[in-house]
Amino acid sequence: MPDDLSTSAENTWCPGCGNFGILSAFKKAARKLEERGIDREHLVICSGIGCHGKIFDYLRLNGLYSLHGRSMATVQGMKLGNPDLKVVAFAGDGDAYGEGISHMIYAAKRNADITVIVHDNGAYALTAGQFSPTSEKGFKGPSLPNGSVEEPLNPLALMLEAGASFIARGFAGKIDHLSDLMVEAILHEGFSVIDVLQPSVVFNNTYKEYNERTAIIAQTPRSYEDAIRLAKDKGTQVPIGIFYQVSKPVYHKELMGSWNPVRDKTARNDRLKKIKEIL
């Protein structure tokens, strides 16, 4: 349904793709954020390259279509440029945990005040179904017809270790829940990441599995150790919700205090006055 957050771009995702759920959840989140005082002009988006990246074309919001693996780095620059913005990076699992994994680790380490939404479909979908950093061992795709011999990454445990201050998992099939997670993540001050289980109906159709197995976490783990334990849990249920949230100093404030390069820029006349003084 076209609405005021839609664009005129033709949607080319496959019918039934989990990305539709993420798009709907994000639109809902953007509206909820408006109710909470964050207007659209201050919500800036960025995406990597992949099927997920097309979300950039479908959202009537400001931003930048970045490179494969780089949206997480790009939004860090946006945030430093104008800390009043809420910046959101969309990424694929290939993007975030492969090509651009160093940006994830360093954004978490420095607690950059950004939100990363990872469309985790366990495959490189846009390039037609190759195995990705989160593909299960044995995953067969055109780059590995006999199946991958590698263990998948555990992104939540990795992000916890790297120092992320907000970590969540969502499911593209549970839109309202996902949209609430997005709101919380964007409002969180510090590095927030949501690993979204996203079925690719063509290359890794996980709808049935996740419809059956996902279960909302009753209560956010109280300690880091509990969060790690939950992230590494390999039970029959796949927990979704907030795994960890903690308040820590954020990067731009450590760097610049409350100074905002856009808002607090020296006025032209004052700059000229200073130049005259020097001259």
Partner 1 sequence: MSIVIDTGNRIAAKAAIMAKPDVVAAYPITPQTTLVEAIAEYYAKKEFTGEYICVESEHSAMSACIGASAAGSRTFTATSSHGLLLMHEMLHWAALARLPVVMCNINRVIGPGWNIWVDENDSISQRDTGWIQFYCSSNQEIYDTVIQAFKIAEHANILLPVMVNLNAFILSHTSMPAEIPEQRTVDDFLGPYIPGWKLDIENPVTFGNIIGPDSYIKVRYAMQQAQMQAKQLIPQVAKEWKKHSGFFHGDLIEYFECEDAEYILLAMGAIGAESKIAIKELRSKGHKVGLARVRVFRPFPTEDIIALGKQAQLIVIDRNISVGNEGALFTETKAAVSGIPETSVQGYIAGLGGKDVTYQDIETMVEKAMTGKAAHQLWYGVEEDR
What are φ and ψ of residue 62, in 5° steps?
-75, 155
Angle formed by the axes of helices 71-81 and 101-109, nearest 10°: 40
Please tell me whether residue 11 binds ligand SF4 under the rule CB under 6 A: no
Residue ranges in 196-255 that form contacts with ligand SF4 under rule CB under 6 A: 200-203
Residue ranges in 80-99 that form contacts with ligand TPP under rule CB under 6 A: 92-95
What are φ and ψ of residue 160, in 5° steps?
-60, -45
Please, are residues 132 and 123 in contact by the beta-carbon 8 Å criterion? yes
Assigned token pair, 62: 């400001």
Angle formed by the axes of helices 101-109 and 155-162, nearest 10°: 40
User: Which one of residues 68, 119, 188, 252 is an interface residue with partner 1 (CB under 8 A)?
Assistant: 68
First to last CA, the chain: 61
DSSP state of 267: P
Instruction: Using the minimum distance from each CB to ligand SF4, give the nearer residue, 15 or 37.
Output: 15
Please tell me whether residue 220 binds ligand TPP under the rule CB under 6 A: no
Please tell me whether residue 156 binds ligand TPP under the rule CB under 6 A: no
- If contact means CB under 5 to 8 A according to the sort of partner, which of partner 1, ligand TPP, ligand SF4, none does residue 92 touch? ligand TPP
User: Which one of residues 6, 62, 82, 127 is an interface residue with partner 1 (CB under 8 A)?
Assistant: 127
User: Which one of residues 25, 30, 45, 123 is an interface residue with ligand TPP (CB under 6 A)?
Assistant: 123
If we measure between CA atoms, which residue out of 78, 69, 61 comes closest to residue 118?
A: 69
For residue 172, how many other CB atoms are within 10 A of its CB?
A: 25
Please tell me whether residue 9 binds partner 1 under the rule CB under 8 A: no
How near is the Cβ of 19 to ligand SF4 at its closest, in Å?
5
- The H or E element that residue 155 is part of is helix 155-162
Size of the site for ligand SF4 (CB under 6 A): 11
Please tell me whether residue 67 binds partner 1 under the rule CB under 8 A: yes
Please, are residues 194 and 39 in contact by the beta-carbon 8 Å criterion? no
Contacts with partner 1, residue ranges (CB under 8 A): 49, 65, 67-69, 98-99, 101, 124, 126-128, 130-131, 133, 142-146, 148
Contacts with ligand TPP, residue ranges (CB under 6 A): 48-52, 68, 92-95, 119, 121, 123-127, 132
Contacts with ligand SF4, residue ranges (CB under 6 A): 13-14, 17, 19, 51, 121, 125, 200-203
